[in-house]
Amino acid sequence: MHPTDRQLAASQPTDRLLDVYPLRCEDGATAMAVDEWLLERAAASGRAALRFYTWPTPTLTLGYFQPAAVRQSVPGLAELPWTRRASGGAALVHDRELTYALALPPGELWQPRGVSWTCRMHYLIRDTLATWGIDSRLCGCGQERKLGEGLCFLHQTPGDLLVGGHKVVGSAQRRLRGATLQHGGILLAQSPITPQLPGIRELTGVTIDPAELAQHLTEALVQTTGAVLGEPGQWTSDAEAAIAHIRSQRYADAKWNLHR
């Protein structure tokens, strides 16, 4: 009699489990609240979690410390719904992209010394995109370029993933009590809001389904880390209530978003 996947997961040390939450399409304030909830959960429970999400309408997020005045400095941004991110960095227009959030608990298993999770995740994305025949590379040290102001994807920094010299993947982090949240966007296609930022489709002619890419990346992360899939992540009523509270107190609160 062979054990089920659930029985195998239950027999593993808790710190090796990776909980994967279902793909969602959600507004910006909700998306950022969910990511913060995942970070708090990782710090409290010691369990890692991964999720992917898309956007129902073009949405602007500002870095945690970025002045709100940026919205008026770049054409087209002021009209967009917007919120802040839990992480730093410059402005992002989320539209035709797949976004990921990886919450890592404290400890050597998930956060070994000297390992850059930005590079680790971007290498994983690079290798996964290669299965679609897409040639991408990481921006190296000394290759940083600033191609414009305000927008994150106009600023190429070491570790960013490039296709044909254009940034198509960028990530940022936030830490809490030894846990780390890393979230980032994979630019699948160009948004009409930011015509200066071509996506993978424009650069390669390849159209990628977000759900299919999310599945491939999940499998690759499990394989490369030796993680064991835990119970399928569920948006329980308690989780939804906690997320709603974070959303109302921060990311959906105009005063909180403007105060920088």
Query: What is the spatial distance between Cα 51 and Cα 24, in angstroms, rounded to a whole number?
Result: 9
Residue 257, CA distances (Å) to 31, 83, 99, 251 in order: 15, 6, 21, 7
Catalytically active residues are 152
* Residue the block writes with tokens 């982090």: 173
Query: What is the spatial distance between Cα 244 and Cα 251, in angstroms, rounded to a whole number?
Result: 10
Nearest-CA neighbor of 160 among 202, 119, 100?
Answer: 119
Query: What is the spatial distance between Cα 247 and Cα 54, in angstroms, rounded to a whole number?
Result: 17
Query: What is the spatial distance between Cα 125 and Cα 136, in angstroms, rounded to a whole number?
Result: 9
Number of H helices, E strands in the chain: 8, 14
3-state secondary structure 114-172: CCCHHHHHHHHHHHHHHCCCCCCEECCCCCCEECCCCEHHHEECCCCEEECCEEEEEEE
